[in-house]
Amino acid sequence: VLQNLSQTPVLRELLKEAKMPGTTVKIESPELCLLCCFSFKQEPQLIKLDQPGPLTLAMHQFVTEMQETKKGVVTPKELFAQVCKKAIRFKGYQQQDSHELLRYLLDGMRTEE
């Protein structure tokens, strides 16, 4: 899950921008309409970001480390610690489903907005 997220360009760019408080991010929807034959263009959404929370900062740090080519092994210790603070069920290193980690990670970052 974390490797896939670290290779998601839109997420990497948003995390980079989110690190700087007071940034306004423009999110554009693709020009696609599945219900009709006509394309349409939606207006981009402008979102002003506040100070990022600890989970978002840990995710930014992890994604940055994953992108560094000189790094050998990347350990998500800080990111995992922040996930455990939001979702106690992950404490204790018991096996969990990857989709649950994804859900708690993304929901946790969203609630820090």
The 10s digit of each residue's pLDDT in 25-81 is: 666 655 444 444 455 556 777 777 777 889 999 999 999 988 886 767 888 899 999
| Per-residue pLDDT, 10 | 82
Does any domain span residue 30?
no
Q: Please tell me which residue, 91 or 43, carries the higher pLDDT value.
A: 91
Average pLDDT over residues 8-33: 71
Residue 91: other Cβ atoms inside 10 A: 12
Q: How many domains does the chain have?
A: 1
| Per-residue pLDDT, 27 | 66
Does any domain span residue 31?
no
| Per-residue pLDDT, 60 | 92
| Per-residue pLDDT, 31 | 44
Does any domain span residue 107?
yes
**Three-class SS string for the chain?**
CHHHHHCCHHHHHHHHHHCCCCCEEEECCCCCCCCCCCCCCCCCEEEECCCCCHHHHHHHHHHHHHHCCCCCCCCCHHHHHHHHHHCHHHCCCCCCCHHHHHHHHHHHHHHCC
CA distance 80 to 68: 20
| Per-residue pLDDT, 78 | 93
Does any domain span residue 92?
yes
Does any domain span residue 89?
yes
| Per-residue pLDDT, 35 | 46
Question: What is the separation, in whole angstroms, between the first and last Cα of the chain?
Answer: 22
Does any domain span residue 27?
no
18 — pLDDT class (breaks 50, 70, 90): confident
Domain containing residue 105: 1-21+51-111
Q: Please tell me which residue, 58 or 24, carries the higher pLDDT value.
A: 58
Backbone angles phi, psi at 80, to 5 degrees: -65, -40
